[in-house]
Amino acid sequence: MFLLQQQQQYGQPPSKSRIQFQFDSHPALLLLNNVVDPDEGVYRCRVDFGRSPTRNVLVQLTVVVPPQKIRIIEDNRQVSSVIGPYDEGDQLSLNCIVTGGLIHSVS
């Protein structure tokens, strides 16, 4: 038997309406449609054999949530695609303000 499941301690399990598990496929296949942030976590693949020990493999699913809006601020005013001109030796100060999205720590 083949089983792939999300480990409960890392979040909510995906909605059953977005999951398809195909036992008759070779190899068996888990399809997760419309991946969303709560789907992120550790998933376990478990294979049970009749006369051999059960095997387990863990896999980490990371979901990237892009930002909704990015603004660039130059000298307290929002700018678009062109800044300057600046003379050589001038000081440039740009701020990037991002709203939405999700930041993941990289280890």
Q: In the structure, what pLDDT confidence band is assigned to residue 106 with cuts at 50, 70 and 90?
A: low
Of 105 and 32, more confident: 32
pLDDT, tens digit (0-9, with 9 covering 90-100), for 42-53: 888 888 888 999
Tokens of 63: 């979901």
Instruction: Tell me: pLDDT of 1 over 80.
Output: no
* CB-CB contact of 28 with 1 (8 Å): no
Model pTM score:
0.58
pLDDT, tens digit (0-9, with 9 covering 90-100), for 65-84: 988 888 999 888 899 888 88
**DSSP string over 2-67:** EEEEE-GGGSPPPPGGGEEEETTSSS-EEEE-S--GGG-EEEEEEE--SSS--EEEEEEE-----E
**What's the confidence (pLDDT) of residue 8?**
45
If phi > 0 it is left, if psi is from -120 to 50 it is alpha, else beta; for residue 78 that is beta
Type of residue numbered 56: N
Average pLDDT of the chain is 81
Separation of alpha carbons 55 and 53, rounded Å: 6
Separation of alpha carbons 90 and 94, rounded Å: 13
Instruction: Tell me: pLDDT of 29 over 90.
Output: no
